[in-house]
Amino acid sequence: MPTASKGVLVRCDPSIRALILQIDLTSRGIVLQELDSTHLMIKQEMVQFVKDELNRLLLKNIYDPMDGDKQ
C-alpha cells in the first residue's frame, strides 16, 4: 500500500541539485524523489536544513581576495 509524505518541490539548476544530492548522501532521507535534472522533492521539515547546508557549501567555495591580506 502506498504511503504519503509531506514534501516540498525544489526547482534549481543542475549544479545546486548535485549539491543537494551530496547533502542527502551524508544525511540520508532528505530527498524523497528525484524528478528530473532541475526538480527534486524533499521532506518539508528538512527545507531549512538544506538551505543552511547549501549556504555553508557555497560560502566555502567563494574566493575572497581579502583573505590573502590576513596574516
Would residue 66 count as lying in a domain?
Answer: no
Q: What is the pLDDT of residue 68?
A: 63
pTM over 0.75: yes
Contact (Cβ atoms closer than 8 angstroms) between residue 10 and residue 40: yes
* Any domain includes 17: yes
Three-class DSSP labels, 1-65: CCCCCCEEEEECCHHHHHHHHHHHHHCCCCEEEEEECCEEEEEHHHHHHHHHHHHHHHHHCCCCH
Total of domains in the chain? 1
Write out the chain's pLDDT in tens, 71 residues. Answer: 888 888 999 999 999 999 999 999 998 889 999 999 999 999 999 999 999 999 999 988 777 777 765 55
Check residue 66 and give its pLDDT. 75
Q: What is the pLDDT of residue 41?
A: 96
What pLDDT, on a 0 to 100 scale, did the predictor assign at position 45? 94
Does 2 reside within a domain? no
Residue 37 included in any domain: yes
- Write the CATH number for 36: 3.30.70.1220
CB 41 within 8 A of CB 32: yes
Distance between CA atoms of residues 6 and 19, nearest Å = 22
Domain of residue 38 covers 8-61
Residue 3 domain flag: no
